[in-house]
């Protein structure tokens, strides 16, 4: 049926094209290549009609039908068929090499129809067609499949196979994805081979993992490597050699400046969501009862700019914590709030004596109070809060509970990130001896500059009289902050693997496996 439709279309176009035309540039080239004057009759209008027919036949199978259609419409204005350029310049051989070697990135060459393209090329080179009509059909398919493979391959190398924001509910790093405009720009490049060379992943971590993949025979480890290679392909903001990165699975923070690691530190991150979270959430959405609400304290994957440090912070207790924890503790101990330095405010913003409230009668689904914890040794945020603008109310902070840093699994918080050594972290961020002494004095530590001891002593007296006061320190040159998720990273001893604390690897694998070489389509084992 396909051939009948195409034959009718070509007959129609042949008729409209008419006779007496001068040979096209493509026709002249083909006649010289095959030593046959018949090919001087090559009609670009007929050929372009065959290309448009092939595009329709491939509908639903192409990476971006709209962009390819536009590209070939542009190419139809030329007297030279576009496939001639690929063959004359030997670009097609190099392009095939890229497609066939996609397995080195863990991506299946079958995605790019590499064998079909090679077969069509061989048929052309060997002259395995009996008429111009067969040539039109053969080369139309060759053009469409090659252009489609090119943008599909280029997109996967430059942007990754998966859009992380589509599979992770809490992925807030801005990630660039291919657009119609960017794909058309790729197609419009003069030399496709140069373009594919230019967009190969260049991050050092990616190249390290790629080399490790080449020598790795362990199936589970190969899967880990492949998943994290995909993460390194995602086009997120550049780090510029100066940044702070928190890697959730490693429970670790690193500060890098001028491309060199300045500080590494243990952190605690958000606790993993409850088992059967999705099913429990469905129940909660129907009942709207707090007791049915499943817990999900997982730290979001985020990007921002650390721009200030809050010393001796107050803790504005989130409503969700008030519902699930504060109310229960207040019912168990009427003096819990007072002893913890937590103030209670009604909806008018007026302070309320917590000992005069009948907490047993308070409905957890509609608590009419707000809670704030004063600065002090018992404050849940400790003495430091490191802020960056975001919509999730996430920040880094100190903690009075240092024992959690001794645990192997440090996914223990309500979502914010606890840092093991906030004083040193603050020192590295501000890079100012003067401001660092100010920080020490405000947090009850003697200054390094002995000339400031008098001020320190006066501050201590003041704090003893009225308590610690909250103060803000601006970070003059804000730090890019990445809160990311890598379960497999380069290490001086090889590849370092971390537990998939939020089960994000299997979520990614479910979406990625259709792109992978078949031998790599295995579940990730911890």
**Residues forming the active site:** 397, 416
CA distances for 151 relative to 71, 103, 231, angstroms: 12, 17, 20
Query: Which residue from 264, 265, 241, 263 is spatially nearest to 428, judged by alpha carbons?
Result: 263
Q: Which two tokens stand for residue 143?
A: 């053009």
Rg (CA), the chain: 32
H helix intervals, 20-113: 25-34, 44-57, 65-75, 82-88, 91-100
Contact 485, 248 (CB under 8 A): yes
DSSP code per residue over 304-351: EEEEEEEES--EE--HHHIIIIIHHHHHH-TTHHHHTTEEEEETTS-E
- The angle subtended at Cα 303 by Cα 297 and Cα 306, nearest 5°, is 100
Residue length, the chain? 526
Q: Which two tokens stand for residue 220?
A: 């589970």
Measured in whole angstroms, the distance separating CA 106 from the mean position of its chain's CA atoms is 18
Query: Which residue from 351, 371, 239, 355 is spatially nearest to 303, judged by alpha carbons?
Result: 239
H helix intervals, 234-365: 277-287, 319-321, 327-332, 336-339
For residues 118 and 103, what is the distance between their CA atoms, to the nearest angstrom?
17
């Amino acid at each position: 049926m396909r051939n009948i439709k195409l034959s009718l279309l070509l007959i129609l176009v042949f008729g409209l094209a008419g006779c007496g035309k001068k040979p096209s540039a493509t026709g002249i080239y083909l006649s010289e290549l095959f030593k046959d004057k018949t090919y001087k009759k090559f009609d670009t209008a007929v050929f372009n009609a065959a290309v448009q027919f092939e595009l329709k036949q491939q509908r639903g199978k192409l990476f971006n039908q709209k962009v390819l259609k536009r590209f070939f419409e542009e190419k139809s204005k030329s007297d030279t068929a576009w496939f001639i350029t690929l063959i004359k310049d030997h670009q097609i051989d190099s392009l095939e090499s890229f497609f066939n070697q996609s397995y080195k990135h863990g991506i299946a060459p079958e995605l790019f129809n590499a064998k079909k393209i090679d077969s069509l090329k061989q048929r052309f080179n060997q002259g395995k067609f009996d008429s111009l009509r067969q040539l039109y059909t053969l080369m139309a398919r060759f053009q469409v499949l090659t252009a489609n493979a090119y943008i599909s391959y280029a997109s996967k190398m430059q942007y990754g196979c998966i859009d992380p924001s589509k599979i992770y509910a809490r992925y807030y790093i801005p990630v660039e994805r291919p657009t119609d405009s960017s794909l058309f720009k790729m197609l419009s490049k003069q030399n496709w081979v140069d373009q594919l060379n230019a967009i190969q992943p260049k991050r050092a971590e990616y190249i390290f993992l790629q080399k490790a993949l080449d020598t790795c025979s362990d199936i589970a480890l190969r899967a880990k490597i492949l998943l994290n290679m995909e993460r390194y392909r995602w086009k997120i903001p550049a780090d510029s050699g100066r940044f702070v990165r928190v890697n959730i699975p490693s429970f670790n923070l690193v500060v890098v400046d001028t491309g060199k690691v300045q500080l590494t530190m243990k952190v605690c991150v958000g606790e993993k969501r409850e088992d059967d979270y999705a099913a429990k959430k469905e129940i909660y959405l129907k009942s709207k009862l707090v007791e049915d609400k499943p817990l999900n304290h997982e730290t979001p994957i985020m990007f921002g700019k650390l721009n200030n440090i809050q010393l001796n912070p107050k803790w504005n207790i989130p409503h969700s914590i008030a519902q699930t924890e504060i109310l229960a503790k207040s019912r168990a101990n009427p003096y819990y709030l007072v002893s913890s330095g937590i103030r209670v405010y009604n909806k008018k913003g007026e302070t309320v004596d917590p000992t005069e409230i009948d907490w047993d009668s308070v409905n957890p689904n509609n608590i009419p109070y707000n809670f704030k914890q004063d600065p002090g040794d018992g404050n849940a945020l400790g003495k430091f809060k490191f802020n960056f603008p975001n919509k999730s109310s996430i920040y880094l902070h100190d903690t009075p509970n240092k024992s959690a840093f001794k645990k192997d699994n440090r996914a223990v918080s309500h979502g914010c990130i606890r840092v093991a050594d906030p004083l040193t972290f603050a020192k590295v961020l501000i890079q100012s001896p003067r401001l660092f002494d100010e920080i020490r004095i405000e947090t009850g530590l003697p200054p390094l500059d002995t000339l400031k001891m008098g001020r320190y002593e006066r501050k201590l007296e003041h704090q003893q009289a009225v308590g610690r006061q909250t103060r803000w320190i601006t970070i003059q040159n804000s730090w890019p902050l990445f809160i990311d998720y890598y379960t497999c990273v380069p290490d001086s001893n090889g590849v370092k693997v971390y537990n998939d604390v939020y089960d994000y690897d299997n979520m990614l694998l479910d979406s990625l496996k259709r792109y992978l070489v078949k031998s790599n389509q295995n579940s990730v084992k911890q």
